[in-house]
Structure 1
């Protein structure tokens, strides 16, 4: 929709609707102090029907649309808990930037797996769960995309530094 990426309104709406989710991917790595910029928010939501209904309401408020290369405004779509659960990955756009929903990211078994080691982060008063750096690395290794391979050495270095610092 708009080329401006502002994750805060997206996170605020998800939090206001009490959606249970873990932030994953590049934005999660950025929140873990990785020096890479990203232009979207990736999340893994809890797949319970009640949570997916809350997610559907949040997506409606966000005016989320299916992202396509041919239409920068995205394609409108109707959704509810069942339809959201019926697709493994949603690539969406909002007026605040892109939002990708992955129910079972590569190298993981989904929300419960990621939530187990996630940390809470508060961004301008909004508290969210952020995937652990180890889980981000695990998922990026499993995805094995060129863009993931480029950032993995730095992410591993940050994780090793943290482990060394915690042992000292």
Structure 2
């Protein structure tokens, strides 16, 4: 398994002009969660041109299909049509695991997540990240053990933010 380097994966997606929202554990990390994650989860816009861009990024990343029952990941040929035909792709890349979910549990997909997504700057990249409330909503709906364990931490971060209110911009220099 390759070392998890999410910034490299995000860079390839950005270089290929893929429209997507970061979801899952890495999104939670970007919101301040200390819980470890070993993969990058995204929800791409499901339009043909965007899936063409996604296919190009996956080629650059040398993406292969990851399956628990297999010792080695499987190479796969892909294009916009084949990517659109499957709801969830579990992939491994030269920079770690990448999971693609077109309609994450508890959401209606890209347009739904994009509404409340926040733009985060990571180095020279600008990335859309699912809102913390949407991350919580998806993890609640998924109901997996690892998601249930993360929920108290994520709810605490959200409650703190709601209690503290929005951060005021710094005073303007004058």
TM-score by length of 2: 0.93
Question: How many pairs align?
Answer: 167
Match of 2:13 in 1: 14
Match of 2:60 in 1: 61
Aligned CA distance change for structure 1 residues 167 and 40 (closer, same or farther; 3 Å): closer
**How does 1:72-151 map onto structure 2 within 5 Å?**
73-151=72-150
**What CA deviation, in whole Å up to 9, does each residue of 1:43-102 have, x standing for no partner?**
000001000000000000100000123555411000000100000000000011000000
Q: CA deviation at 1:124?
A: 1.3
Larger Rg computed on CA atoms:
2
Structure 2 unaligned residues grouped into runs of 5+:
168-174
Match of 1:26 in 2: 25
